[in-house]
Structures are given as structure tokens and as C-alpha cells.
Amino acid sequence: MKPLPMRLGDLSVGFVHSLADAVRSHGVDPQPLLEQYGLDTARLSEAGARLSIPRYMRLGHSAIQLTDNPALGLRMAQFSRLSQAGLAGITAAQAPTVREAARCLIRFEALYGSNYRGQSSFHEDAQGAWLRFYSISPYNAYNRFVVDSIIAGWLHQLSSVSPAPLRAERIEIEFEQPDYRAAYDVLGDCPIVFGGEHNQLRLSLSSLAQRNTEHCPSTWRHLLQLCERELEQLTRTRSLRERIIALLGPLLNGGREPDLEEVAARLKLPTWTLRRKLAEEGTQFRAILNDTRRDLAMTYIRDTELAFGEIAYLLGFASAEAFQRAFKRWNGQTPGEFRRSHRKTA
């Protein structure tokens, strides 16, 4: 059976609007750039339209070059609006408190964006909460702006639900301090730590408890029901194979590969039951793992600038050599030959 085509993820074209506004704020017309990426008015108006994450990263990098502003992601956040996150964003805008708005954005993230390798999360404790954003690493000019725009965008968007602008208690960024460090002053006087373990934003209990003056209880409940329905529709028809592929993405990393026992535990199935169910679907765990690695490898090589050693690490290979051998076995080409052939036809 031919494996399903795989992407690193995608997101709503709604996010392109704030990027265009950020470019426009530099006195530059964004329209030629958008059209170069196939994002004309009709495409940006299409219900449910998505843009692949690699393409979005290339668009952002092109916009940074056009404006000569490496901190464009931070500028973009100032133009972001909850409505750009579609139904989930509109629902968050009706939440009773900042806490519920943040929970809504993260719980229904799949309605406006998906990242095959990980997802955002909300972690509350007795003093406050972390809003955590997953991004593909290692970092470069193509993906730093995504982290900047999301972390700063969360703070800006949630402030629209609060009677007064929110102040983050702390912000942590995975990549090392960039040359444009001074641009982060737009986020306020909170501590900003670079080279952190996660990309995350900390809000205090008092910030989380801020009440939304625009909240309408009946509208909020109705919108929540619509979000739940949309989320259920997204996941209802997934086969066991597709559920396993969704699990493998975040587990593949750092020179190790997940095994059948680990995946069975996450699916809450006995190992022998999982093996039997896969046999009934006409496949095996090893075949799904190999297909997943192969398709992700092809996407990384074709759509990113990552070095092959970095790709090997991201896919759980023990070494770059092991990755190159596996890729040659899967595709009949070395990673270098595959990348060169796709650059010629791009």
C-alpha cells in the first residue's frame, strides 16, 4: 500500500494577513510577494484554506528580506487578531476570562494549524500558567520569526480579551539570543530568557483571572459546541495507521526511535492487540515507522534548509550515515541527489 503523502504541518491562511500588515507598516506593498506565493485575494478569502508550514516559513523569510527587519515576527504580532485563528479564535474572543481564552486557543489549535512534530500546550499550577509553543528546531532565519510571532501574538491577542494589556511574568525562547534582541522590548519589561528548554509564555493567576467585558455566556457555549463538533469531525475517521503516524511525529527525535511497546502504551492497547489490529489493516508497525521517516525526510530535504545531520537527529537516527543509508534504500537516491533534483524542478 502506498503511504499517504506527509507534510510537516500547515496553518490557516488567516495568519498571512498580519504578516502582510507588518510588511505594509514598513512602507512596502506586500501584494507582489503574496502573489509570488500563490496567495492572491481569492486564495486568502477561501474558507478553510491552509498554507504548509515550510511554505509559510519561506514566505516569512522573504518578507524579512523585503523589509530588512529580522524582528518582523515581533512586528507581525502587533497586527495579529483572534479572528485570524478562525472559529477557535472567534470562540476565544467570547471566553469569560483570559484563562479560558488561552485554553480555547490551545485546545482547538488543530482547527487553525497543525504541526506533525508537536503541538502547543497549557500548563497551569498554583501560581499561574505556561502557554507553550512547539517549533521545529534547529533554528535559523526561516523559523525564528514563527516563534516570535506566536509567543508575542499570544500576549497581544489575549490582551484583547482583558480590560487592560497583559504583562507576561516571564518569556522563554529555545533559540539563542539573536542580533535583534532589543526588538523584544515591545513585549514589556518581563524577563526574556534565550536558549531555554521550551518556547513559552508565563501568565500570573491575576492575569489569567482577568474578565472579558465582551463575554456573552450563551454565545460562548454555542461557539464551544461548534468547536467541539469540528474537532470531532477532524479525528473521527482516522484509521489506526493514521493515529500511529500522529503519535510517531513527536516521538521521533534525538537519535532514538520509538518501538511498538511505547506506541501501544500511548494508545492504551496491549502490544499483542496492536500487532493484531495492524495485521487486520494489512500492515506492520515497522512499515509505518519506515514510511513515516521516509516521508518526513523527503519533506525536510525538499522544503527546508536543514543539514542532513540535523534531519537524521530529528528523525531519531543514531547517525547521519545511518540516515543516508536508509534514505538511499527508500528512494534509490542519496539525500543530496534528492535535494538537487528538486531544486532544479522547483
Q: Tens digit of pLDDT for each residue in 296-313?
A: 888 888 877 788 988 888
Average pLDDT rounded to a whole number, residues 329-336: 90
Q: Compute, in degrees rounded to 10, the torsion defined by CA atoms 169, 156, 166, 68.
A: 60
In tens, the pLDDT along 57-104 reads 889 999 999 999 999 999 999 999 999 999 999 999 999 999 999 999
Interatomic CA distance for residues 297 and 292, integer angstroms: 8
Nearest to 299 by CA among 331, 254, 260, 332: 331
Q: What percent of the chain has pLDDT over 70?
A: 96
Domains 9-232 and 240-345 share a fold: no
Interatomic CA distance for residues 336 and 323, integer angstroms: 12
Q: Is pLDDT of 5 > 80?
A: no
What pLDDT is stored for residue 299 in this prediction?
Answer: 82
What does the domain layout of the chain look like in residue ranges?
Answer: 9-232, 240-345
Nearest to 51 by CA among 74, 78, 17, 28: 17
What pLDDT is stored for residue 1 in this prediction?
Answer: 36
293 or 250: which leads in pLDDT: 293
What pLDDT is stored for residue 2 in this prediction?
Answer: 40
From the candidate CATH numbers 3.30.200, 3.40.50, 2.120.10, 3.90.1520, the one assigned to the domain spanning 9-232? 3.90.1520
Instruction: Record the cell numbers describing residue 54, joined without a space.
Output: 515550510
Q: How confident is the model at residue 138 (pLDDT cuts 50, 70, 90)?
A: confident
- Let me know: does 208 contact 127? Beta carbons within 8 Å: no
Average pLDDT rounded to a whole number, residues 232-254: 79
What pLDDT is stored for residue 14 in this prediction?
Answer: 94
Q: Transcribe 82-137 into DSSP letters.
A: GGGGHHHHHHHTT-SBHHHHHHHHHHTGGGTEEETT---EEEE-SSEEEEEE---S
Q: Is pLDDT of 210 > 50?
A: yes
Local structure of residue 201 (DSSP, 8 states): E
What CATH number was assigned to the domain covering residues 240-345? Answer: 1.10.10.60
Q: How confident is the model at residue 344 (pLDDT cuts 50, 70, 90)?
A: low
